[in-house]
């Protein structure tokens, strides 16, 4: 499985945008970029995914570099409820089912 690299931790203030980076320099052409997050004392939850184009949904935006070797998850206006560990995961588009979680980025939101 292709590897991802994320900062161990990040901190931001409430109601400000947050940009969570992820490097995946060995990404293959069939890998999708998925983001999950894990709130305290809960199981992980899906946030967003993309292949080549930038993606938006009600939770976040995903900006994918043109060479696909990096991506950024954008929380447009962070709230205290966004404090969580965020995982950037590559999934082989050829049908692999499992998620390979790295260490993720622990996001702290200050009031």
Partner 1 sequence: DVKVTQSSRYLVKRTGEKVFLECVQDMDHENMFWYRQDPGLGLRLIYFSYDVKMKEKGDIPEGYSVSREKKERFSLILESASTNQTSMYLCASSSDAGTGFTDTQYFGPGTRLTVL
Please identify which residue in 10, 14, 74, 101 interacts with partner 1, judged by CB under 8 A. 101
Residue 22-61 contact track with partner 1, rule CB under 8 A, x = bound: --------x-x---x----xxxxxx--x------------
Please identify which residue in 40, 66, 98, 111 interacts with partner 1, judged by CB under 8 A. 98
Distance CA 39, CA 96 (A): 26
Residue 97 neighbours by CB under 8 Å, 6+ apart: none
* 37 in Cβ contact with 88 (< 8 Å): no
Please identify which residue in 78, 91, 105, 107 interacts with partner 1, judged by CB under 8 A. 91
Q: Which stretch binds partner 1 (CB under 8 A): 12-20, 59-67, 70-78, 93-101?
A: 93-101
Q: How far is the CB of 91 from partner 1 (least distance, A)?
A: 6
* 107 in Cβ contact with 86 (< 8 Å): yes
* 45 in Cβ contact with 34 (< 8 Å): no
Alpha carbon dihedral 44, 46, 47, 48, in 10-degree steps, equals 140
What is the binding site for partner 1 (CB under 8 A)?
30, 32, 36, 41-46, 49, 91-104
């Amino acid at each position: 499985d292709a590897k991802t690299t994320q900062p161990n931790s990040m901190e931001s203030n409430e109601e400000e945008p947050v940009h969570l980076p992820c490097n995946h320099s060995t990404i293959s052409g069939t890998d999708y970029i998925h983001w999950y997050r894990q709130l305290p004392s809960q199981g992980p939850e899906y946030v967003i995914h993309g292949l080549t184009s930038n993606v938006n949904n009600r939770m976040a935006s995903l900006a994918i570099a043109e060479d696909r070797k990096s991506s950024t998850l954008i929380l447009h206006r962070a709230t205290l409820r966004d404090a969580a560990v965020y995982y950037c995961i590559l999934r082989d588009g050829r049908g692999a089912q499992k998620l390979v979680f790295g260490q993720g980025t622990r996001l702290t939101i200050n009031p």
